[in-house]
Amino acid sequence: MRKTVGRITIKDVAEAAGVSVGTASRVINNKATVRPEIRSAVLSAIDRLDYQPNAVAQSMRRRSTQLVGCIIREINIPALAAFVRAAHDELDQAGYSLVISNSEGRRAREEELIHRFGRLQSDGMLLGPYTPVDPAYEKLLRGFGAPIVLFDRNEPEWADAVAADHAGSIDRATSRLLDLGHRRIAILTGNPLLFPAAERIRGYRRAFQRAGLAVDESLVRGTGFLAAEGFRNASSLLASAAPPTALISGGIDMLPGVLRAIRVRGLSIPDDISVVGSGDSELAELHTPPISVERWDMAETGRTAALLLLRRIGGERDTPPEHVLLPAEFVERASLAPPRQS
Amino acid sequence: MRKTVGRITIKDVAEAAGVSVGTASRVINNKATVRPEIRSAVLSAIDRLDYQPNAVAQSMRRRSTQLVGCIIREINIPALAAFVRAAHDELDQAGYSLVISNSEGRRAREEELIHRFGRLQSDGMLLGPYTPVDPAYEKLLRGFGAPIVLFDRNEPEWADAVAADHAGSIDRATSRLLDLGHRRIAILTGNPLLFPAAERIRGYRRAFQRAGLAVDESLVRGTGFLAAEGFRNASSLLASAAPPTALISGGIDMLPGVLRAIRVRGLSIPDDISVVGSGDSELAELHTPPISVERWDMAETGRTAALLLLRRIGGERDTPPEHVLLPAEFVERASLAPPRQS
DNA sequence: GACGAATGATGAAACGTTACATTGACCCGG
DNA sequence: CCGGGTCAATGTAACGTTTCATCATTCGTC
């Protein structure tokens, strides 16, 4: 006798099987001992009524939602989509669902989303804050009642984190440019208070230092990861009295802006200017000429982040925070050439 | 006096403000009438205790989770990411969170995810089934307790749907190829039981019919949308005795496979073969030569889907299902040329 | 055949909210 | 001065589970 109104609850199942709700619950979670004949009676009732446990009620009681929040800047960036995809697979396999949200890189939205995922009682969170973590932010994160894993960030340092070795790859890229004879090498990246920007600049300086050369500070621009910033900075540099002969685009989706600035100015790659991008992409690979990039495995990043998170969720609460640094390589393509003799 | 164990509940707030939980609740949901001085007492307690409502408990009681499920084949496909992004924004603005999951185009996973989102009590679902909707599937969907919006699908027909006019754009593409003198035009797409495959083939046939020409059925391949299928079909066609002089890649992420098959065979575009893709992408735009495509607005698709869903969630349950057909255009690029004289 | 130990099933109390029926206080008109 | 009508706040019953203490039955042992 199917109930006509409302969904089927465990109570209906118990009634149909002629047992108590408690027993029905024990069957459903196949717990402890329950007589085989009763078990099958309950299972048949479940089948007959097409019963599905109400996850909300379960979450309420078990105090675990099997939900993981993920705050990224923009799902539309292929590299981030790859990250999400890999993390999703790992979490999904462990029975967790992924709630994603785009922060658009805005502090206010990040805060709102963190609050939202807190209210949601999500069991964990993957977070790539776009704002430097000041004390207020740190407090907000500390108040989040579940484990947090950061990606491509290293603050707050008490959270687990997965990041790529930007310093290493940009060091290699810069060295290669120096070897080719470049001296005026510009690096465009985000706020140096954020890990990937700081690291890229660190690698850049390290290469100069090793070569015994001084860095021209006017060529180091840490104002923003976005394509628009890339365009702005590249444009102004290229228009200057002593324009750079090589340009490192240090943002995961900055390259389109930089390329546009170069095109607008009528320059050609690599004859007029050498270019290095950050993060491999169809754009970099298929561009004419193909653009050299620092590359790391985004899927591996996502997997690792998910695994770290699952470990914490699984109860490992008081081992020290783990900061995984994944290798990044420098992939040379046709976008590099010696500087033009002038 | 901050509780040291467990989260702060509305009970703590009520206690701290010296009112009943009912009153506290009324303040929180600023409902009905509540004396200003009491309201501010409660608000100050909330502030002091840093209280956040438990969304799980709210969902339980209100019977609404503010969660929307989204099942797509693969978030990693830029076009789908754009869809998700746009839908996300619309839903987010209305206070809903988006739970996404990748079906990998596998029926079993689709079913499992639909069940999961049902158990989750999600308030709605965005769904692009990759499997033709047979009676069993239709029953599954009918049993899902919340509104469903399909994208690029038209079945089951009782669900709202948003799709692109593939028939129109592929008709134009085919016509253009016929005008250029092509007669052996192959079309590679998915299962013709699925809307976008059926529509593309329909447009293709329509163009031939208008031109008074017969379709060579051996050139119509409706075996799968994936890049691997594209590679397989393109390879076998190109290796045949009478290979096509033009090729329509009728799947949103099939193009890489098709291009690879052409490259492997050592053919050049457009001299040896003309190519049309489905859905614009960086690959199509930046390829040498750029690939012509049928193009539609993925963001608009996502927005529309979200809006349709929100309307249903908002209570409009018994207006007839809405099937929105968004325009698709044919974008001609350098991948087209007259067939080589043989 | 009685007793304790297992084994299985039950009932009710949570979980944190919201909604609804109730109560209490106060005012106003007759 | 009483009755009815507002307005505000309270107390409590849900929502659908799980869990835990409790109770009932069975079984083996002496």
Q: What is the mean pLDDT of residues A166-183?
A: 98
Which residues sit opposite B126 in a β-bridge? B70, B149
Report whether A275 contacts A306 (CB < 8 A).
no
Closest CA to A167 of A321, A278, A291: A278
Report whether A233 contacts A226 (CB < 8 A).
no
Query: Residue A81 and residue B85: Cβ atoms within 8 Å?
Result: no
Round to a whole number and report the distance in Å from the CA of A325 to the C1' of D17. Answer: 42
Query: Residue B145 and residue A118: Cβ atoms within 8 Å?
Result: no
Q: Which residue is nearest to nucleotide C16 (CA to C1')?
A: B57
Among B71, B76, B113, the residue to mutate for chain A (most A Cβ within 10 A): B76
B63 CB-to-strand C distance under 7 Å: no
Strands in B220-222's sheet, in edge-to-edge order, are B220-222, B185-189, B246-250, B274-278, B292-296, B328-331
**Per-residue model confidence as pLDDT tens digits over A193-216:** 999 999 999 999 999 999 999 999
The rounded distance, in Å, linking the Cα atoms of B97 and B75 is 17
The rounded distance, in Å, linking the Cα atoms of B155 and B148 is 11
Question: What per-residue confidence (pLDDT) applies to A220?
Answer: 98
User: pLDDT per position in chain B (342 positions), as tens?
Assistant: 334 456 899 999 998 998 989 899 999 987 767 888 888 999 999 999 999 999 999 999 999 999 999 999 999 999 999 999 999 999 999 999 999 999 999 999 999 999 999 999 999 999 999 989 999 999 999 999 899 999 999 999 999 999 999 999 999 999 999 999 999 999 999 999 999 999 999 999 999 999 999 999 999 999 999 999 999 999 999 999 999 999 999 999 999 999 999 999 999 999 999 999 999 999 999 999 999 999 999 999 999 999 999 999 998 888 999 999 999 999 999 999 999 876
User: How much of chain B, in percent, has pLDDT values that exceed 90?
Assistant: 89
Token readout for B44 is 């100050």
The rounded distance, in Å, linking the Cα atoms of A48 and A68 is 33
Question: What per-residue confidence (pLDDT) applies to B5?
Answer: 53
Closest CA to A81 of B98, B74, B80, B75: B75
| D strand bases under 7 Å from protein CB | 7-12, 14-21
Q: Which CATH architecture has domain A5-53?
A: Orthogonal Bundle (1.10)
Q: B56 touching A, CB under 8 A?
A: yes
Helix (H) or strand (E) holding A27: helix A21-28
B317 CB-to-strand D distance under 7 Å: no
Round to a whole number and report the distance in Å from the CA of A80 to the C1' of C13. Answer: 46
User: How much of chain B, in percent, has pLDDT values that exceed 70?
Assistant: 98
Token readout for A140 is 């907000």
Residue A7 has pLDDT above 50, yes or no: yes
Q: A165 touching B, CB under 8 A?
A: no
Name the DSSP class of A221. E
**Per-residue model confidence as pLDDT tens digits over A71-118:** 999 999 999 999 999 999 999 999 999 999 999 999 999 999 999 999
Question: What per-residue confidence (pLDDT) applies to B1?
Answer: 38
Q: B1 touching A, CB under 8 A?
A: no
Same fold, B65-163+298-326 and B166-295: yes
Residues whose CB is less than 8 angstroms from the CB of residue A58 and which lie 6 or more positions away in sequence, other chains included: none
Report whether B12 contacts B53 (CB < 8 A).
no
Q: What is the mean pLDDT of residues A296-324?
A: 95
Residues whose CB is less than 8 angstroms from the CB of residue A6 and which lie 6 or more positions away in sequence, other chains included: none
Among B52, B56, B120, B298, the residue to mutate for chain A (most A Cβ within 10 A): B56
Round to a whole number and report the distance in Å from the CA of A11 to the C1' of C24. Answer: 38
The DSSP bridge pattern shows strands B292-296 and B328-331 to be: antiparallel
Provide DSSP, B147-210: -EEEES---STTSEEEEE-HHHHHHHHHHHHHHTT---EEEEES-TTSHHHHHHHHHHHHHHHH
Query: Residue A97 and residue B99: Cβ atoms within 8 Å?
Result: yes
Q: Which residue shows structure tokens 């992924």?
A: A98
Provide DSSP, B275-333: EEEES--HHHHHSSSPPEEEEE-HHHHHHHHHHHHHHHHTT--SSPP-EEEE-EEEE--
| Nearest CB to B82 within list A65, A76, A92 | A76
Report whether B294 contacts B278 (CB < 8 A).
yes
Q: How would you write B25-57 as a 3-class SS string?
A: HHHHCCCCCCCHHHHHHHHHHHHHHCCCCCHHH
Q: A334 touching B, CB under 8 A?
A: no
Assigned CATH class of A166-295 = alpha beta
Question: What per-residue confidence (pLDDT) applies to B4?
Answer: 43
Q: What is the mean pLDDT of residues A14-38?
A: 87
Question: What per-residue confidence (pLDDT) applies to B2?
Answer: 39
| Least Cα separation, residue B331 to chain A (angstroms) | 19
Token readout for B271 is 């001299």
| Least Cα separation, residue A186 to chain B (angstroms) | 25
Residue A1 has pLDDT above 90, yes or no: no
Residue A246 has pLDDT above 60, yes or no: yes
Report whether A290 contacts A333 (CB < 8 A).
yes
Among A10, A76, A93, A113, the residue to mutate for chain B (most B Cβ within 10 A): A76
Q: How far is CA B176 from the centre of its chain?
A: 28
**In chain B, domain spans:** 5-53, 65-163+298-326, 166-295
Q: Provide the CB-side half-sphere exposure for B227 (13 A, CA).
A: 9
Closest CA to B104 of B139, B137, B74: B74
A58 CB-to-strand D distance under 7 Å: yes
* Residues 236 through 265 of chain A touching chain B, CB cutoff 8 Å: none
Question: What per-residue confidence (pLDDT) applies to A315?
Answer: 83
Assigned CATH class of A65-163+298-326 = alpha beta
Name the DSSP class of B94. T
Q: B143 touching A, CB under 8 A?
A: yes
Question: What per-residue confidence (pLDDT) applies to A4?
Answer: 43
A23 CB-to-strand D distance under 7 Å: no
